[in-house]
Amino acid sequence: EDQVTQSPEALRLQEGESSSLNCSYTVSGLRGLFWYRQDPGKGPEFLFTLYSAGEEKEKERLKATLTKKESFLHITAPKPEDSATYLCAVCGANSKLTFGKGITLSVRP
């Protein structure tokens, strides 16, 4: 059974204080690891897909990296508008998506 564990559950940062969100996973035959952002009362919004260990992707202040056991979402110099819940999900050999419980990020001005 595929499993995804995200840590910490919640993270509070000061504006400009860089940090990383962790996603640990076990999966049979990784087909892709996904990061989504979810704002309160809204549906998840796609950020990145990573397919193989060593891969990295960047978008504005966000950078996602992947190893064989975990993924990190690095946030550089965050702003209050980066406050949201960040979801990690893996797709395994059965082509099903398994989500973690999410990390709630709060960035104070």
Handedness of CA 85, 91, 95, 101 (dihedral sign): negative
CA distance 54 to 68: 8
Q: Does 34 bind other proteins (CB under 8 A)?
A: yes
Q: Which is nearer to other proteins, 72 or 99 (CB)?
A: 99
Strands 45-50 vs 97-99: parallel, antiparallel or unpaired = unpaired
Q: Which is nearer to other proteins, 13 or 34 (CB)?
A: 34
**Of residues 40-99, those binding other proteins (CB under 8 A):** 41-46, 49, 87, 89, 91-92, 95-97, 99
Query: Residues binding other proteins: what is the number (CB under 8 A)?
Result: 22
To the nearest whole angstrom, how small is the minimum distance from the Cβ of residue 10 to other proteins?
13
Q: Give the interface segment with other proteins, choosing from 17-25, 32-40, 56-64, 66-74 (CB under 8 A).
A: 32-40
Q: Are 89 and 31 in contact (CB under 8 A)?
A: no
Which pair of structure tokens corresponds to residue 63?
């950078």
